Structure 1
Amino acid sequence: YAIVTQTPYGNTFTKDIVLELLEKEGVGKGAYTDYVSVSFTALEQIGNAFGSLSKEVQDCMVRLDFELQFLLQYLELTYGKENFLLVVSSTYGVETPYKSATATKNHGGVFKQVEALYILQKYLETTYGSGNWIEHSFGRQIYLNRDLIAQYNLSLPNIQDEAALFLLQLAGVSSVLTAHAMNSGVFFDETKQRIAHAYNQQRSGDIYYELLPGWTEQSTDKVAQHISSFSEITHVPLLWYGWKTKAQRIHTPIATTDIIPTLTEILAIQRPQKAYGTYIQGIFE
């Protein structure tokens, strides 16, 4: 069934499962408020496979619009508009693709992660000695081999800094943050603040790099266009519909991290410990 995830029918199956869940589990029929979270992921898979401006993505968008329409009609007919609250958003936006950026004379390019990691590995070997200095990479995070660093009796922060300075020399790299900097530093730059907020001491990598605007990243056979902290990526839709909402546009800056604090406020429950953000003013009557 893996191929289904790269077709619009992946979203159709997701919608059908949601409707079955609502019906068979009696969601919204009890004395307490029920919470249901749904993620339509086919669009992301299709975008990664064919590109954000492809006909396949356009087709998926049109079909997804119909899926959301069907789901909304079901909610209104089953529960009534005043008895449910629907929040629609996106995990991220999409950067301007490389070909589009060059066509409009903006600087851009493709950052080949595999080649960059190979060059960094050779640099660390030349500087510190033989060994597999890079243990793993995920997204734009690089995990260094800490056992090897300890074996050579080297300073982890120093090697993180050396690797960061080297990566900054590569074409397309705009900034590099190290784990020890995120542990001890205070950032006033909005982009770096977003990166630091996502950092986890137990799971995040030793190094995180950011690309320049207009640059996309090629990892193995895919060109990802959504791993970024720039405004093109973080600017996403946020729609509220149903219970006590009023038709309006809010022009003040709102973050997706404000969704959970707002929901916990109207439900009069404690927000999750790691949730940050503020209550969104003015969306309810």
Structure 2
Amino acid sequence: MKWSLRLLLFLLLGSITLSAGYAQDSKKDFDPEEQPKLIVGIVVDQMKYDYLTRYWEHYTEDGFKRLVNEGYNFANHHFNYFPTYTGPGHAAIYTGATPSVNGIVGNSWFDRDANRNRYVVEDTSVSTVGGAGAVGQMSPESLLSSTFGDELKKVSSGSKIIGISLKDRGAILPVGHMGNLALWYDDSGGNFVSSTWYTQELPEWVSAFNEQGDARAYSNQTWNTLLPMDQYTNSDPDSSSYEGAFPWEESPVFPHEMAMAQGDSVYWTVKSSPLGNTLVKDLAKRALQNENLGGDESTDLLAISFSSTDYIGHQFGPHSVEIEDTYIRLDRDLADLFATLDEEVGEGNYMVFLTSDHGVVDVPAQLEETGQPGGYFNTNRATQALLNYLTDKYGKQNWIRALSNQQVYLDRELIKQKQIDLEAMQQDIANFLLQFEGVLSTNTAANFATEKYEESLQGMYQRGFQYQRSGDVYIQLKPGWLISSSRTGTTHGSPYTYDTHVPMLMYGWGIPQGGTFKKTVVTQLAPTISELLQIPLPNGSEAKPLIFE
């Protein structure tokens, strides 16, 4: 491929230094005149790095290719912790910290004090704005460390920080605690909503956007391939037993008649088609224009998270025509967004980064049937056997409070009352679970709290461990294995490269042209942005900026 040859030539010729926008002196005072007018952070939910190269021939020159050919490509970029989910991914990207520090240990986790699962951005102390019910009772309250946007606001109160996504967590976590506005999609009514954490009422331009009824119009469309079907040579055949069909379909094949959805699914289907990304892009353009982002002396931040890629990937899998078509269409949406940025802010006045919150595993059923390693872990069987084991060894009690994120949460208070050694019970459970098919290894909270695992897979689990929010025993599955009851579609969450290897593209103000194959990790982005902006590092950051060689 042309861009790969260009990158190889670049590496052979030597290195270049970061342009004048890079602050070599971290003590230099913040000077608005030496800053970009706008930072645009783009997270493509569930984007494997492979999607950048696999569909390259179908991309335009003005979308993904513009970022690669004119910007900087960190081609060996990875997440360095478990679990690789949406909430932790967005938090790590913008805080420069792993879950062990920023506290976002999952999309949800068992709250020991409340004795229930806690959703990552739930906050019952705030109210919905622009909608009804609990859809807007969300905030960054659970985020334990600052984002680079928070640090920007501290030194530049005039900076605007806005987050937009179909998912609440994809809009809220990137803008941190001091964001001006976060907007997410309410699929019960087809509108974008917010919470009183940010505002008491929606800005007029958001209300006007909702009143246009784009979500309803999109939900009535037929999703067919953008290109002729015979050009989708990078995917499996359209008819596949590994894909999940929409509820109204007999089989998961094109065309998908989105207007066939009924009841509560009417607006939900928008999220599960490429038009969900288009809806987010359209709202982002409105934000640019109506909030005058990049229009004054203060650097602004627009955080955009495209979520339809994730919904579609879960349903159809990473080798489907649907996912290929989705990325071809997203490329066009990106080109349109970049053209608007050129017009509204001016080329060279803004900086863009594009990355992902996690990758995805091939459908395990397909791996099994093609003779590759993979399978499904039988949670019910393992749980029942574990309960019987604990009863036999420790007596009949409710020793287990929850199972979440491949972790066993024990009743620590009960164990203390019964004068049982907690660490010994944790180790007993860890040893017992090793017998089950699909389990590679296990480990305990006691070990994660005291040992130092560095760069091993156990180190990735440790960097995702936070004592108050994480479980007592971790289960590490073998590569290609999932906890799932469905043999169609797929998911993510592991410490393996198919879930950790994602794009990291940077373009625009202060960014040189080039790339590297050296390994980089997700926590390096936030300190890089901070150094470029000459602002304090996020307070939980590992403070290891990316190197532009």
Q: CA deviation at 1:112?
A: 2.9
Cα gap change, 1:148 to 1:260, in 2 (>3 Å): same
Q: Following superposition of structure 1 onto structure 2, how do residues 209-228 of structure 1 map, counting pairs within 5 Å?
A: 209-218=475-484, 224-228=490-494
Alpha-carbon spacing, 1:193–1:4, altered in 2? closer, same or farther (3 Å): same
Who is 1:29 aligned against?
295
Q: How does 1:178-257 map to 2 (within 5 A)?
A: 178-218=444-484, 224-257=490-523
Give 1:39's aligned amino acid: S
Instruction: Give a deviation string over 1:123-157, Cα, whole Å, max 9, x none.
Output: 22222122322212222222112233233221211
Distance 1:219 1:135 in 2: 22
Cα deviation 1:169-225 (Å, max 9, x = unaligned): 111111212111110001034322222112112211112221111212216898653
The superposition leaves residues 69-100 of structure 1 with CA deviations (integer Å, 9 ceiling, x where unpaired) of 22122112221221111000111122233234
Aligned position for 2:443: 177
Residue deviations 1:245-273 (CA, integer Å, cap 9, x gap)? 23312111111211001001111111112
Q: Aligned pair 1:58/2:58, yes or no? A: no
For 2:343, the equivalent position in structure 1 comes to 77
- Structure whose residues are more often helix by fraction: 1
Q: Assess if the C-alpha contact under 8 Å between 1:140 and 1:227 holds in 2.
A: no
* Local SS of the residue matching 2:281: helix
In 1: Cα distance, 2:407 partner to 2:315 partner = 22
Select between 60-69 and 25-34 the one with higher mean Cα deviation. 60-69
CA distance in 2, matches of 1:222, 1:184: 40
**Quick one: higher RCO (CA 8 Å, sep 6+), 1 or 2?**
2
Q: Describe the shift of the 1:238–1:67 C-alpha distance in structure 2 as closer, same or farther (beyond 3 A).
A: same
Structure 1 contact 114–220 (Cα < 8 Å) conserved: no
User: Quick one: which amino acid aligns to residue 492 of structure 2?
Assistant: H
TM-score, structure 2 length as denominator?
A: 0.49
Question: Among 399, 414, 418, which residue is 1:148 paired with?
Answer: 414
Structure 1 residues 80 and 219, CA gap change in structure 2 (3 angstroms): farther
Q: Which residue of 2 aligns with 1:108?
A: 374
Given residue 232 of structure 1, which amino acid in structure 2 is its aligned partner? Answer: Y
- CA distance in 2: counterparts of 1:132 and 1:226, whole angstroms: 30
Hey, what's the Cα distance between the residues in 1 that align with 2:411 and 2:271? 34
Distance 1:248 1:26, change over 3 A: same
Q: TM-score, normalised by structure 1?
A: 0.90
Alignment length (residue pairs): 283
Secondary structure in structure 2 of the residue aligned to 1:240:
strand
**Structure 1 residue 277 displacement after superposition:** 5.0
- The verdict on how the C-alpha distance between 1:47 and 1:134 changes in structure 2, with shifts beyond 3 A counting, is farther
| 8 A Cα contact 1:255 1:277, kept in partner | no
In structure 2, the residue matched to 1:126 is: 392
In structure 2, list runs of 5 or more residues that go unmatched: 1-186, 188-267
